[in-house]
A and B are shown apart, each in its own frame.
Chain A
Amino acid sequence: MSVQLLTYIFVGISFGIYLYIAIRSRANSTSDFYIAGKGVHPIANGMATAADWMSAASFISMAGIISFMGRDGSVYLMGWTGGYVLLALLLAPYLRKFGQFTVPDFIGTRYYSSFARIVAVICLIVVSFTYVAGQMRGVGIVFSRFLEVDINTGVLIGMGIVFFAHSSQLYMWTSVPHIAVLCILINTSLLPTSGSETSSNQMPSLAWLLTNAFMKLQV
Chain B
Amino acid sequence: MMTEKNLKLDQYWKANLRLVLRLLSVWFLASYGCGILFVEFLDQYTFFGFKLGFWFAQQGSIYIFVILIFVYINQMKKLDEAFKNQKEEES
Contact = CB atoms under 8 A, between A and B. Distances in A.
Interface of A: 71, 74-75, 77-78, 81-82, 84-85, 88-90, 93, 197, 200, 203-205, 208-209, 212
Given A77-B57, A204-B55, 10 more contacts: A74-B54, A77-B62, A81-B65, A82-B65, A84-B65, A84-B69, A85-B24, A89-B24, A89-B68, A89-B69
B61 A205 contact: no
27 contacts: A75-B36, A77-B58, A77-B62, A78-B57, A78-B61, A78-B62, A81-B62, A81-B65, A82-B27, A84-B69, A85-B23, A85-B65, A85-B69, A88-B69, A88-B72, A89-B20, A89-B23, A89-B69, A90-B20, A197-B51, A197-B54, A200-B58, A205-B47, A205-B59, A208-B49, A208-B50, A212-B49
Contacts of A197: 50-51, 54
Report whether over half of chain B's contact residues are helix, strand or loop; otherwise say mixed.
Answer: helix
Interface residues of B, number: 26
Interface centre among A82, A90, A200, A204 (most CB of B within 10 A): A82
A89 B72 contact: yes
A204 B54 CA distance: 11
B62 to A, nearest CB: 5
B41 interface: no
Contacts, number: 65
A130 B73 CA distance: 31
Contacts of B27: 82, 85
Contacts of B55: 204-205
Given A78-B35, A88-B72, A209 B48 contact: yes
A96 to B, nearest CB: 11
B50 to A, nearest CB: 6
Contacts of B42: none
A212 B27 CA distance: 32
A97 to B, nearest CB: 10
A157 to B, nearest CB: 32
